[in-house]
């Protein structure tokens, strides 16, 4: 069911590693040094936002509180993303090891894995893994003989809300509330779960952190680009012969990716899922990197036969469904964008009206409260800008707009 | 409703750190999952009981239940078939899969069969785009669904 034909080989997460070498090294080095190595490696969060992980861990570690939390965000819901599914089913131990290292680094005694409801079928296997780790003294009290290092992990199940992948919405959900994002600051590193310092990291972030601690910052920095160190797991789907999860070093171009998955007659590539960017053919030299195409890992390939307005519409419908409705720009903006796509499809959208709508997307990008609201117009805007040949604007008198 | 400890917290008691069951609102989602799992839906009475136990207003429970798409206020079919309708799945033919199910069950997406056996739904990405078209049957993820597979799935569940 969850197996891929893909060979699991890659520069970081899918590279060979001795089991527990990361955790053992961390315990030897001490918590300050662990944070230093992560900082030194210039490692950034793999969920999509790209916040420097070392900074996050360092801030949480500096908080002078007894109660701290490590949370693994396994709520991957970005359309076209499935890399966490592979990590959760094939590399659970690596992921948990990463959480234990993080707990050691910041001084937390409790961790949670927030699992999306769609992945409920993995729950039993993950619980088994945790039970085994408790037996092996990898969880519990005085872990691996380290006096005073106590930590355990519980799994919490989401209930089908994309927005809960946003870290503050995820914390709200953990606290038993509607998954509505909070204002930031304060950031979870000082006011997180139940008001205590909390770090929320993506599944891939924890998995990669183990490799960094085990193999060192210099090794990690030798992979990728100057500003985007290391690698990225990509979930590749759409019009290609070999969809699946691939690990590539940062700095890999769209062109190289298309070749790797044997995509033919490609017109466009959506990088970063529904909230990402739609890259047209003439820009296929662009790179997967924080400084160019930043992504949580979703890569959807469209061949020449696809209609890009339909794609924009699908993404907007998705966002309209998943918007939490809390803030006005997102809640009220999305129906307007959808109407505009409808009007474009019917050939009844004038140039002026489209300009108004594009202005509205800018308002949404600036004024929406959370990442979802700010990024939901992205795909629409890039499709409107890059695929002008796919729609025709109505020539209507200005007075009777649309 | 029995007490379950799905969320725990660490407290300091007599100088020692111990893990205890979190009796606060953080238990809400786990409790809702428990009720939903047992009955297939969450009734008004359930919401009032849960609110009472957690010391919150029933309306707050209602607001949470209605926020999450995997909780429902009304009884659904014994088996819920969810079809992923993200763009990767649509490109791979998920609409055809949906039609196959609709034809075989005699219902539209969003409806439940008269005998109460099946509910059909179209939902957002389920994380199986590499094996599109993909569906969720109850908790199980199934990829590469063909019309032949649709028949087999329904036969197995009947």
**DSSP letter string over A124-191?**
HHHHHHHHHHHHTTSSBSSGGG-TT--BEEEEEE--S-GGGGSHHHHHHHHTTS---PPPSSSPTTTS
Which residue of chain B has the CA closest to A124?
A: B139
**Cα distance between the two ends of chain A:** 48
Q: A399 versus A251: which is more confidently predicted? A: A251
- Substitution target in B28, B54, B87 with the highest count of A β-carbons within 10 Å is B87
Identify the domain containing residue B24 by its residue range.
8-67
Q: Does the beta-carbon distance from A80 to B86 stay under 8 Å?
A: yes
Domain at A283, CATH number = 3.10.20.600
* Band of residue A48 on the pLDDT scale cut at 50, 70, 90: confident
Give the 3-state DSSP-derived string for B34-73, with helices as H, strands as E and coil as C. HHHHHHCCCCHHHHHHHHHHHCCCHHHHHHHHHHCCCCCC
Mean pLDDT of A51-67: 96
Distance in Å, alpha carbon of A356 to nearest chain B alpha carbon: 27
B4, pLDDT greater than 90: no
A183, pLDDT greater than 60: yes
- The ipTM estimated for the assembled molecules is 0.91
Over residues B50-68, the pLDDT tens digits come to 999 888 999 999 999 999 9
Instruction: Evaluate whether B144 touches B133 at the Cβ level (below 8 Å).
Output: yes
Domain end call among A221, A250, A272: A221
d(CA A193, CA A200): 10
Over residues A334-380, the pLDDT tens digits come to 999 999 999 999 999 999 999 999 999 999 999 999 989 999 999 99
Over residues A35-47, the pLDDT tens digits come to 999 999 999 999 9
Over residues B84-117, the pLDDT tens digits come to 999 999 999 999 999 999 999 999 999 999 999 9
Q: What pLDDT is recorded for position B11? A: 65
Q: What pLDDT is recorded for position A325? A: 92
Q: Does the beta-carbon distance from A67 to B9 stay under 8 Å?
A: yes
d(CA A82, CA A236): 9
B15, B40: one domain:
yes
Q: Which residues are CB-contacts of A322 (< 8 A; sequence separation ≥ 6)?
A: A77, A161, A162, A163, A372, B124
Domain at A148, CATH number = 3.40.50.11540
Domain end call among A221, A254, A277: A221
Q: What pLDDT is recorded for position A402? A: 52
Asked if residue B126 belongs to a domain, the reply is yes
Mean pLDDT of A48-75: 96
Asked if residue B3 belongs to a domain, the reply is no
Q: What is the DSSP letter of A400?
A: G
Q: What pLDDT is recorded for position A2? A: 47
Asked if residue B141 belongs to a domain, the reply is yes
**In sequence order, what are the beta bridge partners of A271?**
A277, A299
Residue in the structure block whose two tokens are 């089908």: A160
Asked if residue A4 belongs to a domain, the reply is no
Identify the domain containing residue A327 by its residue range.
308-400
Chain A residues in contact with B123 by the CB 8 A cut-off are 160
Asked if residue B2 belongs to a domain, the reply is no
Domain at B138, CATH number = 3.40.30.10
Q: Does the beta-carbon distance from A81 to B9 stay under 8 Å?
A: no
Distance in Å, alpha carbon of B116 to nearest chain A alpha carbon: 22
Mean pLDDT of A265-287: 96
Over residues A102-145, the pLDDT tens digits come to 999 999 999 999 999 999 999 999 999 999 999 999 999 999 99
B127: left (phi over 0), alpha (psi -120 to 50) or beta: left
Closest CA relative to residue A300, chosen from A325, A320, A318: A318
d(CA A48, CA A370): 14
Asked if residue A119 belongs to a domain, the reply is yes
A298-303: strand order across its sheet:
A244-249, A231-238, A298-303, A266-271, A277-280
Q: Which residues are CB-contacts of A373 (< 8 A; sequence separation ≥ 6)?
A: A323, A327, A329, A330, A333, A364
Residue B84 token pair: 């992923």
Phi, psi of B135 (to 5 degrees): -135, 165
Asked if residue B150 belongs to a domain, the reply is yes
d(CA B9, CA A139): 15
pTM: 0.93
**In sequence order, what are the beta bridge partners of A278?**
A270
Which residue of chain B has the CA closest to A305?
A: B91
Q: What pLDDT is recorded for position A8? A: 86
Q: Which residues are CB-contacts of A82 (< 8 A; sequence separation ≥ 6)?
A: A76, A235, A237, A245, B127, B128, B129, B130
B3, pLDDT greater than 50: no
d(CA B101, CA B92): 16
B28, B57: one domain:
yes
Q: Does the beta-carbon distance from B130 to A321 stay under 8 Å?
A: no
Which residue of chain B has the CA closest to A152?
A: B19
Q: What is the DSSP letter of A41?
A: T
Asked if residue A3 belongs to a domain, the reply is no
Mean pLDDT of A158-170: 95
Q: Does the beta-carbon distance from A79 to B88 stay under 8 Å?
A: yes
B85, B151: one domain:
yes
B93, B151: one domain:
yes
Domain end call among B44, B67, B90: B67
B48, B93: one domain:
no
Q: Is A47 helix (H, G, I), strand (E, B) or coil?
A: coil
Number of domains in chain B: 2
B110, B139: one domain:
yes
Asked if residue B102 belongs to a domain, the reply is yes
Alpha helices (runs of H) in B1-158, residue ranges in sequence order: 28-39, 44-54, 58-67, 87-91, 94-105, 147-157
Asked if residue A259 belongs to a domain, the reply is yes
B61, B84: one domain:
no
Domain at B30, CATH number = 1.10.10
Asked if residue A361 belongs to a domain, the reply is yes
A26, A165: one domain:
yes
B146, B86: one domain:
yes
d(CA A82, CA A109): 29
What does the angle CA A134 – CA A137 – CA A143 come to, to the nearest 5 degrees?
120
Across all residues in chain A, what is the average pLDDT? 94
Mean pLDDT of A239-265: 97
B118, B49: one domain:
no
A400, pLDDT greater than 60: no
A84, A188: one domain:
yes
B114, B151: one domain:
yes
Instruction: Evaluate whether B112 touches B76 at the Cβ level (below 8 Å).
Output: yes
A401, pLDDT greater than 60: no
Q: Which residues are CB-contacts of A209 (< 8 A; sequence separation ≥ 6)?
A: A22, A38, A43, A53, A98, A101, A102, A201
Number of domains in chain A: 3
Closest CA relative to residue A196, chosen from B95, B113, B155, B10: B10
Domain end call among B67, B88, B108: B67
Q: Does the beta-carbon distance from B6 to A4 stay under 8 Å?
A: no
Q: Is A280 helix (H, G, I), strand (E, B) or coil?
A: strand
A246, A341: one domain:
no
Percent with pLDDT over 70 in chain B: 87
Which residue of chain B has the CA closest to A83?
A: B127
Q: What pLDDT is recorded for position B25? A: 86
Asked if residue B44 belongs to a domain, the reply is yes
B89, B47: one domain:
no
CB pairs under 8 A between A and B: 147
Q: B17 versus A146: which is more confidently predicted? A: A146
Q: What pLDDT is recorded for position A269? A: 97
Chain B residues in contact with A154 by the CB 8 A cut-off are 6-8
* Half-sphere exposure at residue B140, Cβ-oriented, CA atoms within 13 angstroms: 7
**In sequence order, what are the beta bridge partners of A275?**
none
Domain end call among A221, A253, A287: A221
Asked if residue B73 belongs to a domain, the reply is no
B84, B137: one domain:
yes
Q: A373 versus B15: which is more confidently predicted? A: A373
A290, A347: one domain:
no
Residue in the structure block whose two tokens are 């006096």: A147
Distance in Å, alpha carbon of A396 to nearest chain B alpha carbon: 32
d(CA A42, CA A40): 5
Q: What pLDDT is recorded for position A398? A: 54
Name the maximum alpha-carbon separation found in chain B: 65
A297, A150: one domain:
no
A217, pLDDT greater than 90: yes
């Amino acid at each position: 069911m969850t197996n891929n034909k893909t060979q699991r080989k890659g520069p970081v997460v899918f590279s060979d590693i001795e089991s527990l070498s990361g955790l053992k090294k961390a315990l030897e080095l001490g918590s300050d040094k662990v944070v230093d190595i992560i900082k030194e490696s210039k490692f950034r969060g793999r969920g999509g936002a790209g916040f420097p992980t070392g900074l996050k861990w360092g801030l949480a570690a500096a908080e002078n509180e007894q109660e701290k939390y490590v949370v693994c965000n396994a709520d991957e819901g970005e359309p076209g993303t499935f890399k966490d599914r592979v990590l959760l089913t094939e590399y659970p131990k690596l992921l948990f090891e990463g959480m234990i290292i993080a707990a050691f680094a910041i001084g937390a005694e409790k961790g949670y894995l927030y699992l999306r409801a769609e992945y409920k079928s993995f729950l039993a296997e993950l619980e088994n893994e945790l039970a085994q780790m408790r037996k092996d003294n990898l969880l519990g009290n005085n872990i691996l003989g380290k006096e005073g290092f106590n930590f355990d992990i519980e799994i919490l199940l989401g209930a089908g809300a994309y927005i809960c992948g946003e870290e503050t919405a995820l914390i709200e959900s953990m606290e038993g509330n509607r998954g509505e994002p909070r204002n930031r600051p304060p950031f979870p590193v000082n006011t997180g779960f139940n008001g205590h310092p909390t770090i929320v990291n993506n599944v891939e972030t924890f998995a990669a952190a183990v490799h960094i601690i085990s193999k060192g910052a210099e090794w990690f920095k030798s992979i990728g680009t100057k500003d985007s160190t290391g690698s990225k797991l990509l979930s590749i789907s759409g019009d290609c012969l070999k969809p699946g999860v691939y690990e590539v070093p940062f700095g890999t171009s769209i062109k190289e990716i298309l070749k790797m998955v044997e995509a033919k007659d490609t017109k466009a590539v959506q990088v970063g899922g529904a909230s990402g960017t739609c890259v047209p053919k003439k820009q296929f030299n662009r790179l997967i990197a924080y400084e160019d195409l930043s992504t949580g890992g979703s890569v959807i390939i469209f061949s020449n036969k696809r209609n890009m307005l339909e794609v924009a519409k699908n993404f907007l419908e998705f966002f309209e469904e998943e918007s939490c409705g809390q803030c006005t720009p997102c809640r009220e903006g999305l129906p307007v964008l959808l109407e505009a796509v409808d009007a474009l499809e019917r050939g009844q959208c004038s140039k002026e009206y489209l300009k108004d709508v594009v202005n509205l997307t800018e308002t949404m990008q600036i004024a929406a409260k959370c990442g979802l609201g700010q990024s939901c117009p992205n795909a629409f805007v890039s499709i409107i800008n890059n695929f002008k040949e796919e729609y025709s604007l109505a020539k209507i008198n200005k007075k009777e707009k649309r | 409703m029995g007490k379950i400890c799905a969320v725990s917290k660490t407290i300091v008691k007599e100088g020692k750190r111990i893990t205890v069951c979190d009796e606060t609102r953080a238990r809400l989602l786990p409790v809702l999952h428990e009720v939903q799992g047992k009955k297939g839906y969450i009734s008004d009475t359930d919401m009032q009981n849960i609110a009472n136990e957690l010391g919150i207003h029933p309306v707050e429970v209602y607001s949470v239940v209605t926020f999450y798409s995997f909780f429902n206020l009304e009884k659904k079919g014994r088996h819920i078939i969810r079809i992923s309708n993200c763009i990767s799945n649509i490109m791979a033919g998920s609409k055809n899969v949906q039609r196959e199910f609709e034809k075989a069950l005699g219902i539209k997406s969003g409806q439940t069969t008269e005998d109460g056996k099946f509910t059909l739904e179209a939902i957002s990405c389920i994380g199986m785009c590499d094996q599109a078209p993909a569906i969720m049957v109850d908790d199980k993820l199934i990829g590469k669904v063909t019309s032949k597979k649709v028949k087999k799935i329904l036969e197995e569940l009947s």
